[in-house]
């Protein structure tokens, strides 16, 4: 075994760690040294969003010690940032195995350091945690979740005073404080239990009322209160609030998918508890078909991502992708505000750089400012803070099934998204059409955009290096032509430079640096390459567009667009 790894293992065997942990280490030494090496070969990185990793013993795993040390470092930064002030923090968790234990561990460490802790009595959606931080005037907060990752994973997301996740300079500063915690003896583990307040119903009620206030057409819901809604929480936290919010909106015909209604960290009915995966939505689709529903909605374990299913023009059920759902939501918020006379000259919407450009076109034609930020809702939250008092935020979103409606929550919120998507379905039904037909109308009006995403996973200790090598290769040698169209622009967000590949002219990209590359072709196609910040994978996003003369030509245009994306993937040697 590598000497550095062996030293780490011995420090756990001889340090202030629980005896059962030491026993497990010895068993791995004897029976599975490779797994032991993987558990200790590095420290689980406290990234700009917090921790995320496989649960288990070791410095490279999610466990009591990595969570406690992260919390001590975060505590130290909070105390430096707010000297001589009362520091309040809120904590929530999802349905994953050990999430409650990790939440209580964090609560105990915060409290032992003299912070006032508000800990939810039971699992709650991540967006409710963001809302709670703002509602209670907290300086920060934590949610224990690994979002849509497989069941072996858990995580720890840190938040700041505005209810958004950490952004510069706080993200790097917190990381620096966490890295200073070199030993479990640096952590105050207990002794402040009196500083912990258990919260629940009062915050639930306030959150539901806030979401209810986002409704644009309550009168339409009254007419369409029997809209047939099927909802699945996919064994997650959505069950705590989505049914309550739909009831508050006035919907009376909601069917919960029983097989996936009970919170369960083993996610027994799915491989990946992610509404982006058709397999995770399959039981809900079957139920929607059985009862001839109007809309199917599914949320991930911490209820920040939403997926929807609707019937196409032939009555077949289809799952919308994240870009399509975002297009419908952005258009609805812009269009309905205009119809009701609510639109203001300073309205703004925000999307990420890898999300469909169709949203930019919709916003421009409506006279609404549309901003593009880096991937992650923390950047949307930061922009809201920057524009506060100058521009009015309406809606934000990204292609990975995330929406944030209104600014009372500063992270993606599938609970309010489900309610608004159902309101949209009710509104379209009152006009005699479906959400699918509405999307086709938008394609005819604004142009047809087809997106796709592929993820390439590189596991193990060499995985990260392979991904880094792939990015450097594309950076140094961008493709000359994709699907028969010349590549004319390279956007390198790591270097902060946009290069015209025809003339060689460059300009600065006015965004924080991030390891993302984008290739723009002469015909308007956009290809983005981005290593994941939380998983050993690299993601490639593809977007092509064309005109659609009439809804009945959609199938033909879609087939052509998908063929074009397939050709781009082949040209980039990704398949």
154 and 65 both lie in a single domain: yes
User: Where residue 1 falls among pLDDT bands split at 50, 70, 90?
Assistant: confident
Residue 534 confidence (pLDDT) above 90: no
Residue 459 confidence (pLDDT) above 90: no
CA–CA separation, 274 vs 300, rounded Å? Answer: 5
426 and 509 both lie in a single domain: no
Residues 433-451: tens digit of each pLDDT:
999 999 999 999 999 999 9
Any residues with CB less than 8 A from the CB of 30 and at least 6 apart, and which?
none
Does any domain span residue 220? Answer: no
For residues 116 and 87, the answer to whether their CB atoms sit within 8 Å is: yes
409 and 458 both lie in a single domain: no
Across 462-488, average pLDDT: 92
189 and 245 both lie in a single domain: no
112 and 81 both lie in a single domain: yes
Across 231-242, average pLDDT: 98
Name the pairing type of β-strands 517-521 and 485-492: antiparallel
Secondary structure of the chain: what % helix, strand, coil (to 5)? 40, 20, 35
Does any domain span residue 151? Answer: yes
Percent of the chain with pLDDT over 70: 99
pLDDT at res. 460: 67
Across 327-355, average pLDDT: 96
Residue 484 confidence (pLDDT) above 70: yes
288 and 311 both lie in a single domain: yes
55 and 108 both lie in a single domain: yes
User: Where residue 49 falls among pLDDT bands split at 50, 70, 90?
Assistant: confident
pLDDT at res. 105: 98
Across 304-321, average pLDDT: 97
Residue 330 confidence (pLDDT) above 70: yes
Residue 463 confidence (pLDDT) above 90: no
- Mean model confidence pLDDT for the chain: 96
Does any domain span residue 219? Answer: no
Residues 352-394: tens digit of each pLDDT:
999 999 999 999 999 999 999 999 999 999 999 999 999 999 9
Does any domain span residue 51? Answer: yes
pLDDT at res. 271: 92
Across 493-500, average pLDDT: 96
168 and 268 both lie in a single domain: no
C-alpha distances in Å from residue 161, one per residue of 82, 135, 136, 364, 441: 11, 10, 10, 32, 41
pLDDT at res. 11: 94
**Residue 177: which CATH number?**
3.40.120.10
Does any domain span residue 357? Answer: yes
Does any domain span residue 303? Answer: yes
**Nearest alpha carbon to residue 17 among 186, 187, 184:** 184
Comparing 42-56, 120-134, 262-276, 434-448, the range with the smallest average pLDDT is 42-56
174 and 248 both lie in a single domain: no
User: Where residue 47 falls among pLDDT bands split at 50, 70, 90?
Assistant: confident
pLDDT at res. 533: 65
User: Where residue 104 falls among pLDDT bands split at 50, 70, 90?
Assistant: very high
- Counting every residue, how long is the chain? 575
58 and 150 both lie in a single domain: yes
The single residue listed with the structure tokens 């809804």 is: 551
User: Where residue 575 falls among pLDDT bands split at 50, 70, 90?
Assistant: confident
333 and 432 both lie in a single domain: yes
**Residue 548: which CATH number?**
3.30.310
Note if 147 is an active site residue. Answer: yes
Residue 535 confidence (pLDDT) above 70: no
> Greatest CA separation found in the chain?
72
Q: Is 269 exposed, middle or buried (0-12, 13-18, 19+ CB in 10 A)?
A: middle
Residue range of the domain that includes 329: 207-214+225-446
* Total domain count, the chain: 4
Across 418-441, average pLDDT: 98
Catalytic: which of 147, 514, 525, 528? 147
**Nearest alpha carbon to residue 8 among 25, 32, 27:** 25
C-alpha distances in Å from residue 234, one per residue of 65, 161, 230, 418, 425: 29, 30, 12, 14, 22
pLDDT at res. 45: 86
SS3 of 46-103: CECCEEEEEECCCCCCECHHHHHHHHHHHHHHHHHHCCCCCCEEEEEECCCCCHHHHH
Does any domain span residue 410? Answer: yes
The single residue listed with the structure tokens 């400012």 is: 369
Name the pairing type of β-strands 392-398 and 229-232: unpaired
pLDDT at res. 461: 65
Does any domain span residue 484? Answer: yes
334 and 419 both lie in a single domain: yes
pLDDT at res. 221: 98
């Amino acid at each position: 075994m590598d000497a550095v790894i062996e030293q780490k293992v011995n420090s756990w065997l001889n340090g202030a760690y629980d005896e059962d942990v030491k026993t497990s280490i010895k068993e791995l030494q004897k029976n599975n040294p490779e797994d032991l090496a993987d558990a200790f070969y590095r420290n689980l990185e406290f990234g700009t969003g917090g921790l995320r990793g496989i649960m288990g013993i070791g410095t490279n795993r999610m466990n009591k010690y990595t969570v406690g040390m992260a919390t001590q470092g975060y505590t130290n930064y909070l105390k430096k940032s707010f000297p001589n002030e009362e520091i309040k923090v809120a904590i929530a968790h999802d349905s994953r195995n050990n999430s409650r234990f990790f939440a209580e561990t964090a609560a105990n460490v915060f409290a032992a350091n003299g912070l006032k802790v508000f800990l939810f009595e039971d699992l709650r959606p991540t967006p409710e945690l963001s809302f709670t931080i703002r509602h209670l005037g907290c300086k920060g907060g934590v949610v224990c979740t690994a979002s849509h990752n497989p069941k072996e994973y858990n995580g720890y997301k840190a938040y700041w005073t505005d209810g958004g996740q950490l952004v510069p300079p706080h993200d790097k500063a917190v990381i620096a404080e966490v890295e200073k915690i070199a030993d479990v003896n640096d952590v105050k583990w207990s002794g402040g239990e009196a500083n912990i307040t258990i919260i629940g119903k009062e915050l639930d009620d306030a959150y539901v009322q806030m979401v209810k206030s986002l409704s644009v057409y309550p009168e339409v819901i009254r007419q369409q209160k029997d809209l047939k809604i099927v909802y699945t929480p996919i064994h997650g936290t959505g069950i705590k609030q989505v049914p309550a919010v739909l009831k508050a909106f006035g919907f009376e015909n909601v069917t919960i998918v029983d097989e996936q209604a009970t919170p369960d960290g083993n996610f027994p009915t799915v491989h990946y508890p992610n509404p982006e995966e058709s397999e995770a939505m399959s039981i809900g689709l079957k139920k929607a078909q059985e009862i001839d529903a109007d809309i199917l909605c599914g949320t991930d374990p911490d209820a920040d991502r939403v997926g929807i299913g609707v019937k196409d023009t032939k009555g077949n059920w289809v799952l919308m992708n994240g870009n399509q759902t975002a297009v419908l939501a952005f258009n609805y918020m812009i269009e309905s505000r205009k119809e009701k006379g609510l639109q203001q000259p300073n309205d703004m919407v925000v999307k990420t750089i890898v999300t469909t450009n169709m949203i930019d076109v919709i916003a421009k034609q409506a006279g609404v400012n549309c901003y593009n930020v880096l991937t992650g809702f923390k950047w949307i939250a930061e922009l809201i803070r920057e524009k506060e008092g100058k521009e009015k935020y309406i809606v934000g979103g990204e292609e990975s099934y995330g929406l944030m409606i209104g600014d009372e929550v500063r992270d993606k919120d599938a609970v309010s998204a489900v309610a608004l998507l159902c309101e949209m379905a009710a509104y379209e039904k009152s006009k005699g059409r479906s959400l699918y037909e509405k999307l086709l109308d938008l394609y005819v009006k604004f142009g047809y955009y087809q997106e796709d995403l592929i993820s390439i996973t590189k596991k193990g200790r060499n995985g990260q290096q392979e991904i880094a090598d792939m990015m450097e290769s594309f950076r140094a040698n961008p493709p000359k032509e994709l699907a028969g169209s010349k590549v004319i622009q390279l956007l390198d967000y790591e270097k902060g430079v946009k290069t015209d590949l025809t003339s060689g002219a460059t300009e600065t990209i006015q965004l924080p640096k991030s390891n993302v590359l984008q290739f723009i072709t002469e015909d308007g196609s956009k290809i983005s390459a981005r290593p994941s910040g939380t998983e050993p994978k690299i993601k490639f996003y593809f977007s092509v567009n064309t005109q659609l003369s009439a809804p009945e030509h959609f199938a033909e245009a879609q087939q052509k667009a998908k063929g074009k994306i397939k050709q781009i993937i082949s040209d980039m040697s990704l398949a």
